[in-house]
Structure formats: structure tokens, C-alpha cells
Amino acid sequence: MSSKLRKLTELPHVDATLTYVAPMVERPRNYASEPPAGLPRSNTTPETHTVPIYDVRSIASEVSLDREGFAVLEQESAVCDFWDDDELRRIYYPETEAAIAKATGASRVFIFDHTRRRRVIGAQDGTAGLPRQPATRVHVDHTAKSGPQRVRDLLGDEAEELLRGRVQVINLWRPIRGPLHDAPLALCDASSVAQRDLVPADLVYANRIGETYAVTYNPDHRWFYARAMERNEALLIKCFDSLTDGKARFAPHTAFDDPTAPPDMLPRESIEIRSLVFHPA
């Protein structure tokens, strides 16, 4: 952690259980939906560890995308219904592009995906007919390989020129309603993550195979969350950065069960926007 940040022991925290992947010889593989008959949803073995997760609120102005790999934003939205796709693309996409460009100084932001999640107790993510569920394993959405590949997949003839400059994949995540106590998002300080902790894994869709990072446990990992997030708050998460000069490149994250959450909490509803972020060469 940067010397600018307060000592962890001075921050409020919860002790919570996170799910990593156990070390394995075989390449990890996960299916985004129901796998072919006879195959498991995942060939990985979960490994749980109880860790302190520190409330970032009192130091939110000190954390940064380039050092810790995440940031906390106040961002009001004019969106009335986050479950309305037309309203999202008409209002929320431009709002988010502007917010990410301002936070990063980017010359261009290209939103390529959004995912809404609504917690259904006991449901597995990817179950047909149900909304997406909170992602409960420590992961990074892109890798050193799949980050540039997304540019090539989505931007065609422009891709190689864009890849000459700095390219990032940045998510903007927010609760659709608050205060959020159910399945909040934990973020790992990227500077506490060793490269050996990040394990390339296949994410199998019906029409393509993506690559993400599964994450193995390291006691050096430093975890943070923003307690009781409201609808006008958002998290920026760096999932890839083409720079290799010591800045944060990959920030692991996961939903977790907060043992201090009130028993009458609302089920989590959230939305994440995924974007390609470009800086000139």
C-alpha cells in the first residue's frame, strides 16, 4: 500500500470469507452457462480464506486506478430505470463514458458490455431464466492476452492503431438501489498481488472462449470495500492496462457476504459497465 494511505489497522474492517481457486495443474475452465452434457460447470476447486476487508470510505480520495487499481466515485445518474435497455444506452452509456474519461484522462472510451445482477438466494449464476447473480469467486475479467484481443474483436480495422497507444479495460460498477449490504464488492489492492497469483482461465460462451484470471490465495493480498454504497456511488475497477511500467494492471475483485449486514437487507441489485479506454501513443 502507498505510504500516503493510512495504516490498515486504523481502518474499520470486517472479517469475511472469500473464495479463491485452489492451485491446479490443469488449465482452469468455466462455462458461462449450462455446460455440455457430462461436463462440470467448472474444473476448478474452490479454496476459501477468511480475510480482513477494510472500509475504504475514509481514504477514498487517496486510492487510485494507477496505484491500487480501483477508485470510488460519486456519480449521480439521470437514469430512472436501470432495467430498461433503451434508457441505459440513451442516458447511462454517455454518462459513464464521460465519467471514465474524466477519471482517466482518456481520449476515447468505448463501452462494449453491461451486466445487471439481482440476487436470488440459493441460485447459481448463469441459471437459465434467472437474472445474473453476484460473482462470488475472486477473479479479474481480462488478462494480458484477452484485453488486447477485445480491442481486435470489437474495433476491427482501428484496432492495431489503437493498440499502439495505452489501452485499458475499466469497469464502472454501482448498486441499482441502496444502501447496499447484500453481497457487496470487495476489491484487492493491485500492488499486493503477485503475477503468480493470477492464473489464466478459459471462460466458455456459446460462441466464443474468453480468457479471465482466476486468483490463488496470497496472504499479502489487501482487500477493501465501500460499506453501504448508495445509488449515486460507483466503483471504477481496472481489469487490464497495457502499460508495464509499474502502474496497476489487474485488480482482482469478488462479491462477499458481510457478516455485519443487517438481517432485513434488500437483495443486491447492481449494474456493471465494461469499457475499452484509449490514450494516444
> CA-CA distance, 63 to 65, in Å (whole number)?
7
Which residue is it, cell 462479491?
Answer: 255
* CA contacts within 13 A on the Cβ side of 55: 13
Q: Are 140 and 216 in contact (CB under 8 A)?
A: no
Which residue is it, cell 489487474?
Answer: 250
Express each pLDDT in 84-136 by its tens digit: 999 999 999 999 999 999 999 999 999 999 999 999 988 888 777 889 999 99
Express each pLDDT in 47-81 by its tens digit: 999 999 999 999 999 999 999 999 999 999 999 99
pTM of the model: 0.94
Domain ranges of the chain: 53-279
Q: Band of the pLDDT at 5, cuts 50, 70, 90?
A: low
Q: In the chain, pLDDT over 90 holds for what percent of residues? A: 86
> CA-CA distance, 263 to 207, in Å (whole number)?
41
Q: Are 138 and 188 in contact (CB under 8 A)?
A: yes
Residue 59 has a CB neighbour count (10 Å cut-off) of 20
Q: Band of the pLDDT at 4, cuts 50, 70, 90?
A: very low
Q: According to the CATH classification, is domain 53-279 in 3.80.30?
A: no
Give the mean pLDDT of 197-224: 94
